[in-house]
Structure 1
Amino acid sequence: LIETMSGLPDFMRQGLTWDQGTEMAGHASVTVAANLPIYFAHPHSPWERPTNENTNRLIREYLPKGTDITSSQAYLDAIAREINERPRATLDFYTPREKFEALLRDNVASTS
């Protein structure tokens, strides 16, 4: 996560919102190493992080709740690629990859 987030342009690293899970205990090291502020949603308030909830639903199609997450990074990367190639209604039926690339392209063009 630190490596990935550190590689993003500053305008894309203005903050990250996490839920209250114990797996987020290392948030301070991410904040410092990636220069990325981390915010926490209120407990039992999924409406504060709707993209996260939708993404979790998509991930559960590949890894149902209770499934041990594989140690194969290649498998996890393949899941991420498939999810990022699925058009989304909230993105006017563009894929997350297309919108991400457009953000990068438009920001570079506006600063040139």
Structure 2
Amino acid sequence: MKISRDKQGLFDDVKQRYQYLLDSSYPDEIVSFEKETGIFSDDFYLFFSLVAGSLSYVIDHKRIPKKQLNVLRQSFEEQYPQIKSYQQIHESYPLLHSYVQYHEETRKQIIALIQ
């Protein structure tokens, strides 16, 4: 995958996001969310892995597999409608919410970069 000159700034930002994701750890609030709501935390980990894995393809200038790209085109809420209490995440779990938002913004940047 070649990066056009007009998308170089976006690519540089995505690279910084990738490094941040490599250096950061999942928020501890995931465990609290699971215990308090009874909703399994697997969905969060799947979403985070999808975004980070897709970023690794972009950084290495490789094509994202079609099935993965189809899932990546969906927002967190579209992928995991069973987490109906998304607003509850925002209100009760601010670190988890910001981590989901960071991944959501990164997901959008990946899509913008590869289009």
Shorter-chain TM-score category?
under 0.3
**What TM-score results when the alignment is normalised by the length of structure 2?**
0.27
With CA pairs under 8 Å and 6+ residues apart, which has the higher RCO, 1 or 2?
2
**What TM-score results when the alignment is normalised by the length of structure 1?**
0.27
- The structure carrying a bigger strand percent of its residues is 1
Q: Decide which structure has the larger Cα Rg and report it.
A: 1
